[in-house]
Structure 1
Amino acid sequence: MRIEGSVALVTGANRGLGKAFTEALLAAGAAKVYAAVRDPASITDARLVPVPLDVTSPTQIKAASRACPDVTLLINNAGIMLLSPVLAEGAEEALRQEMETNVYGPLALARAFAPILAHNGGGALVNMLSVVSWFTNPFNATYCASKHAALAVTDALRIQLYAQGTQVCGVYAGFIDTSMAAKVGEAKASPRQIAVRVLEGVQAGETHILADAAARDISAALQAGPHALEAAMQHDWDQGASPWSI
């Protein structure tokens, strides 16, 4: 689909990657950009249309779908990462929270907006995933589990929404220079770089968008040997390496 003239809704739009998405959409000629955030007062760009939305709230998701009937591009960007190993104290609660925001939220939004996208010609649905959709970092295992689940949901949506002409895109990236990765000492892609690459991928009809060098490198490594990264993770865990090793 074309970004120029589109009507987009971006979740988690007030900072980091979400804000970069809104800026890239406007620069690419989107006709309208809904900035979906918990606090609409946090949206100060007059070119954006603030929409109150907590992606874990069914009531607010329903209200957003009613308030935004002209959407042709849904970008599920909002997410949380709680840095929990799977056997850590509180891991169950961390996993519940990450699943609510990273899986159930995007799924509920897809269900709410799929009929709207169909009515408006099909459009596109973009889910921000991660390279850890493909492997598990034991230092951050609950987040990885949520992204594995989000990948499965994204693939299922692609199959179910094909007939209505909706392009469903999964986006894979490594570390991005946002508050979520503030503790990361590794190389990070800029939010603007990721946003621009994603919109290019959407326009090109891609359904699996490798948004940075890390995604391309890890994808290639997995093709070479599906258990190579698992072995690397085991080594790092045994050696007590940085929780941000990939």
Structure 2
Amino acid sequence: MPTPSQPDPHISDAGAKRSRRKEARPGELLEAALDLFVEKGYAATRVDEVAARAGVSKGTLFLYFPSKEELFKAVVRENIAGRFTEWNSELETMTGSTSDVLRYCYKVWWERIGCTKAAGITKLMFSEAQNFPEIVEFYQQEVIFPGQALIRRILQRGIDRGEFRPVPMDGATYVVLVPMIFLMLWQNSMGACGPQVMGLTPQNYMDCQLDSILHGLCVRPDEMPAPSASSSTASSTPPR
């Protein structure tokens, strides 16, 4: 039996477990909410269902998220919006060609969002946006505008480095984004209902789209500026 000066180890363990459980609850609630929002949509998802799936009471859920709208916003920030700071910082350190940067962008987006449950949020926004203008405004500010800004930075990088042709930036941004959006919608609709149709797999689809996009963006040989006379002479003169 423990002495008065020694805490009961069973009581200490129980307290530690309760503490760890409390710390884990926000993450468990967000995971349960993501599952249900993607499965049932925003309108049909009830907070008591989210709480039950996470193994807590509805009152506990409201301690962390005061409404379904705030819960949805937290799900979007956790799974999508929170990525943009990381991606913008990563872009600052890239040294390869902008074509390689764009290919890497597609690859990372697919691994971290496109092939995850979070991709279902895109379908949810398309299907229910008209009925919930408040979450549309939030989604625009947290996801759409930052995504557009990131793509614009990549395109401008290519133009500034002489790799991409000057293009209308607004239209070109959507040229890059639309294939990603289509793939998420496909995966969470017809693509989820059976085998791949006509050999459409995420990888060969993205490869085909990137080849087409880069073929249109990259400077063509006949568009490259001719070397000046001085530079031509200098380059043909052997060093002494």
Q: Would the TM-score normalized by the shorter structure come out above 0.5? A: no
TM-score (norm 2): 0.35
Query: Which structure dedicates a bigger proportion of its chain to strand?
Result: 1
Q: Which structure dedicates a bigger proportion of its chain to helix?
A: 2
Q: Which has the larger radius of gyration?
A: 2
